Structure 1
Amino acid sequence: MPPVTHPNVQLVVDALRRGGADPSRIDRMRVLPDAVSTAAAAAAALGVEVGQIANSLVFDADGAPLLVLTSGAHRVDTGKVAALVGATRVRRATPEFVRAATGQAIGGVAPVGHPAPIRTLVDRALEAYPEVWAAGGIPHAVFPSTFAELVAVTGGEPADVA
């Protein structure tokens, strides 16, 4: 792993270790030369399918943060997600809401490393891939994982979100 030069990346690495993530995957955290703030950009930089990118999307679910880890090949169905979590309304969060909930900026939101636990849904479509990639706390950092590991380290709920 390249030297960690950003505190958000270190928070993510520490949270992955505490959560029991496979150390060999944590060691493969990559800090890329260019930001990869979209699933397509991340997939191109890594040479993987866009569906292997685990987008960390933060939503406002009746005022509470909700993290949805979805396959880069999907668009989240907010009506479906609202029904899954029992919310009246689920909408895309503002950049300020995202930063307050995660301590991270849109485009680099990791599944872990937040100031407090966030209710998380993990897209079952990610299960189709033996390896998926998620943001590492900044738009330049990514790390490999698996569907099962993401569910475990986030305390997330597997769900059909598209």
Structure 2
Amino acid sequence: MTDALPARSRLVHDALRAAGITGEIVVLPDAASTAALAAAALGIEVGAIANSLVFWSDDAPLLVMTSGAHRVDTAALAARTGRGSIRRASAEQVREATGQAIGGVAPTGHPAPLPTLIDEDLAGYPQIWAAGGTPHTVFPMTFDELVALTGGQVVKVD
């Protein structure tokens, strides 16, 4: 029932349904603001968590969806994608670009679509989980659904 979801998660839910994604947003009892916490709460491998990280590149926000098992190598990623520098966005920049707080950023439900890079290693999991707009919410989807939802470019991120 979407009425029980936080307002930010209702926006994510609506964007998922508009994209034809049927996975339900789950409200966790404790915040899962890191991939390790989310994986533990769900009883899954940390690599199946699709971490939504917001960076700043070429004077604009850049969403990187990475496996929870990886750290983003920003210099290598910039070189692979032909971008200028890629640096971590501030909490204020994340909130402005996504409408969501760090630790709960979903791959959708933002004020405007963000250019997105997707970790190729997420394709190795039959189901992946992403934040649902708050640190207490997550939802399942497939790798193909993530690519279609974001229009993201699949790349090596680590």
TM-score, with normalisation over the residues of structure 1?
Answer: 0.93
Q: How many positions carry a matched residue from both structures?
A: 158
Structure 2 counterpart of 1:118: 114
Offset at residue 10 of structure 1 (A): 0.6
CA distance in 1, matches of 2:45, 2:105: 20
Residue type of the partner of 1:125?
Answer: D
- What percentage of residue pairs aligned between the two structures are identical? 63
Offset at residue 57 of structure 1 (A): 0.2
**Structure 2: runs of 5 or more not aligned:** none
Displaced runs of 4 or more, over 6 A = none
Structure 2 counterpart of 1:44: 40
Q: Deviations over 1:8-44 (max 9, x none)?
A: 10110111111121x2x2xx31001110000000000
- The 8 Å contact of residues 133 and 142 in structure 1, kept in 2 or not, is answered as yes
Structure 2 counterpart of 1:150: 146
Q: Deviations over 1:82-129 (max 9, x none)?
A: 123322210011000000000000000000000001000111100100
Residue type of the partner of 1:116?
Answer: A
Structure 2 counterpart of 1:11: 11
TM-score, with normalisation over the residues of structure 2?
Answer: 0.96
Offset at residue 158 of structure 1 (A): 0.9
Question: RMSD of the alignment, in Å?
Answer: 1.2
- The 8 Å contact of residues 5 and 27 in structure 2, kept in 1 or not, is answered as no
3-state DSSP class of the match of 1:134?
Answer: strand
CA distance in 2, matches of 1:145, 1:66: 21
